[in-house]
Amino acid sequence: MSKSTITGRKLLDEVKDQLLDSDALHLANKIQWRHLKGISKDSSDLYPIAMVGKGPPVLLIHGFDSSFLEFRRLVPLLSNTYQLIIPDLFGFGFCPRHANAEYGPESLVNHLNKVLELLPKDSPIGIIGASMGGSLAMEIARRNPKKINRLLLLSPAGLTGKPRPVPKPFDALGVWFLSQKPVRKSLCNQAFANPRNSVGPPEEQIASLHLGVDGWSMSLAAFARSGGLANCGTPLPSQPVEVIWGANDRILKKRERDKAMALLPKSFEELKECGHLPHLDKPEFVAAKWSRK
């Protein structure tokens, strides 16, 4: 079968038993393929959502060009006391892609709102959002003030600034660049505080696994043309918001972080020996932070 015909579901089914990270394999086995009203084109158009644990519901939102597997180290620490709902973002991860779909920020928000509709209406929902997922968490909270009760943002990206649409043909050029193995490896290394000790074949595998999904380059280029997420930090949502930053974050520029922290000066913590992914570098700290109410 050619690469162009591989759906996210087929790819994940084929490779999950080859995952080198045992936590990733456990999480991959928790995937449910769900029909989302208003999103799915037909009954066979299903979207991946990992459902793990029991207790108060928590929506986990991953970052740019990633997947639900990003939360593999946090899940075992929270699933005994919380129900974790971990979707792949629309147009990312192992989701279906359609050539005529819109892949801008509004589509991502609409998709997450449909995921929320699957959950009990009478149960308050918390959100943990990482990187770009932090900006999406803020927008979801503003639109669902009665449904969402608290937020934890992990190195949030896109809280300030302006959208920067990438015109053709530079959108496709950028996607091609991101697809190159040396670039994937470099970005993976940059995301961790101490890549020499933290990054190996399991991390590199997970960082690039979803690139084999049909439509990956198309949806990523469309998202780039949309300008991505920006200026999502204001107005502040009514819910409590906490932020964790990695002191060794090499993905977000210091200027961007300083502007974002100025929005929430009383509610952030900076972790030493932690990079752009606190939920991977310091999952125990993140889990303890969430469990303290």
Kindly report the pTM of this predicted structure. 0.97
Q: Rounded distance, CA 98 to CA 40, Å? A: 10
264 has a pLDDT exceeding 90: no
Mean pLDDT of the 251-266 span: 87
Which range (32-41, 183-192, 248-257) has the least confidence? 248-257
Mean pLDDT of the 189-205 span: 97
Cα-Cα end-to-end distance for the chain: 50
Q: What is the dihedral sign for C-alpha 130, 64, 72, 203? A: negative
Cβ neighbours around 183 below 10 Å, total: 13
136 has a pLDDT exceeding 60: yes
> CB-based contacts of 118: which residues, under 8 Å, 6+ apart?
34, 36, 49, 85
Mean pLDDT of the 98-109 span: 96
Beta strand pairing call for 31-34 and 47-52: antiparallel
Q: Which segments within 185-291 are labelled E, that is strand? A: 241-246, 268-271
Percent of the chain with pLDDT over 90: 91
Q: How far is CA 45 from CA 35, 80, 116, 228, 238, in A?
A: 7, 31, 18, 25, 35
2 has a pLDDT exceeding 50: no
Mean pLDDT of the 207-222 span: 97
**CATH superfamily, with its number, for domain 3-291:** Alpha/Beta hydrolase fold, catalytic domain (3.40.50.1820)
Q: Which two tokens stand for residue 250?
A: 């090499």
Mean pLDDT of the 213-223 span: 97
pLDDT tens sequence across 147-180: 999 999 999 999 999 999 999 999 999 999 999 9
Q: Rounded distance, CA 70 to CA 23, Å? A: 10
Beta strand pairing call for 57-61 and 83-87: parallel
Supply the DSSP symbol for 236.
P
Rounded to the nearest 10°, the torsion over CA 187, 190, 196, 202 is -40
